[in-house]
Amino acid sequence: DQQVKQNSPSLSVQEGRISILNCDYTNSMFDYFLWYKKYPAEGPTFLISISSIKDKNEDGRFTVFLNKSAKHLSLHIVPSQPGDSAVYFCAASPYSGGGADGLTFGKGTHLIIQP
Amino acid sequence: KAGVTQTPRYLIKTRGQQVTLSCSPISGHRSVSWYQQTPGQGLQFLFEYFSETQRNKGNFPGRFSGRQFSNSRSEMNVSTLELGDSALYLCASSLQPGGGGNQPQHFGDGTRLSIL
């Protein structure tokens, strides 16, 4: 069973608009959530994270929102730029200080920024 | 600061062979984790090493093994290769185990393994 789900395999957004990527999880033990960005032929690059004690974390154009009761998080990118075109992975960890089971990843959403 | 280095970048093997992949973590990072990425399953956790000890292992058969050296470099070995082992194998390092919290995992560019 998939504990971290990204239900949209792909998303197309116009340059300058807001991109919203969604992620749902089922395991209540997840305590920390991360977003990674991946270009072809490269490894994932860490973008932003959020602890379960917060509901929002912002870093420049990137904001992550966490709705713990709904077990849902989203990544907002504003404004979207052509270089944002990549696959975005949502990941979860069971412990804030370091998990026992590594990171659990969603299957990714391919974001395409159109000019 | 140099990133995570994985070698080789590409590898072609045949069924039944065995393979060893190498990972050099970011300097100072003592935790190394391995992941398998396939189109159908996404990124799946293989195992994690910290201070030369395997801390935990994902749901993979015993053909998949690894080790970590005193300099934190890690190797992953797959024996009796099967067609389904074709994948991108990613290594990630972090200061502390787990990859969550304030010390996220940083990934290498992976080794693309193809089984013929």
Contact assessment for residue B75 and residue B23, using Cβ atoms and an 8 Å cutoff: yes
Taking CA–CA distances from A2, the nearest residue in chain B reads: B41
Q: In which region does residue A40 sit, left (phi positive, over 0), alpha (psi from -120 to 50) or beta (all else)? A: beta
How close, in Å, is residue B82 to chain A by CA atoms?
Answer: 23
* Tokens found for residue B99: 């990859």
Beta bridge pairs of residue B6: B23
C-alpha A80/C-alpha A77 separation (Å) is: 6
Which tens digit of pLDDT belongs to each residue from A38-75? Answer: 998 889 999 999 999 999 999 999 999 999 999 999 99
Residue reference for tokens 């050099």: B24
* Chain A residue at shortest CA distance from B37: A107
Q: How confident is the model at residue A110 (pLDDT cuts 50, 70, 90)?
A: very high
- The two beta strands, B111-115 and B10-13, are parallel
Q: Which band of pLDDT confidence, cut at 50, 70 and 90, is reported for residue A2?
A: confident
In angstroms, the separation between the Cα of residue A68 and the nearest Cα of chain B is 17
From first to last of the 116 residues of chain B, give the pLDDT tens digit: 579 999 999 999 999 999 999 999 999 999 999 999 998 788 899 999 999 999 888 889 999 999 999 999 999 999 999 999 999 999 999 888 776 666 788 999 999 999 99
pLDDT at A101 over 90: no
Cβ-defined contact of B90 to A43 (cutoff 8 Å): yes
